[in-house]
Every structure is written in C-alpha cells, then in structure tokens.
Amino acid sequence: MLLLRSISSVSARIISSLLLLISILFMPFWISVILALAGMIYFPLFWEAIILFLLSDLLYGVAEAKFFGMVFVSFIFSAIVLMIIETMKKKLKFYP
C-alpha cells in the first residue's frame, strides 16, 4: 500500500513537472508562475520549478534595466520564493 502511494506521488510530481515545462515553453508567463507556485506549495522541495525557470531565463531572458541588468530574474525570484514557502511549511502545524 505504501509503495503504491509513493508511486502515485512520484507520477504526480513527474506529470506536474512536464505540465510546467509545457507551460514555460508554449503558454504565457503568468500561467507558468501560477503552476510553479501550486507545485511549490503542494510538493516538498519542488526544485523542478527553479530549474525550469532557469531554462525560461536562458531561452527568453533579456537584461532588465530595472533589475540592474540581470538576465536570470525569474530564476532568482523562484529560488527565493521556494525558500520562503519551505520555511513557512515547517512553521505551519497542519502541514505534514
């Protein structure tokens, strides 16, 4: 029973990672942000979001003057958001 549960959890994580990849490649950016936030909240340590936002910055990133010429803006913000969400998860009593 536990093995079945872990397999379904792994397959859900893989499906959500593929869905996030498709959204980064073919959909508007805000859809990718919503899916990444949902994955970061639902799964423990959803590193796939950070890696896929790095891919997004490598493909579509442009140096922004308002961010001091940085190209990897969404990558850095997603890493910061993941750290904040994981810290908040540890402090919440109802999150396992």
Give the domain ranges of the chain.
2-91
Residue 47 has pLDDT above 60, yes or no: yes
Distance CA(69)–CA(57), nearest Å, equals 13
Q: What is the mean pLDDT of residues 10-15?
A: 88
β-sheet bridge partners, residue 64 = 70
pTM for the complete prediction?
A: 0.82
Distance CA(40)–CA(65), nearest Å, equals 29
Q: What is the pLDDT of residue 1?
A: 43
Determine the residue type at 90. Answer: K
| Size of the chain in residues | 96
48-58 pLDDT tens trace: 999 999 999 88
Distance CA(31)–CA(10), nearest Å, equals 23
20-44 pLDDT tens trace: 999 999 999 999 999 999 999 999 8
> Which class for 35: exposed (0-12), middle (13-18), buried (19 or more C-beta within 10 A)?
buried
Q: What is the pLDDT of residue 66?
A: 72
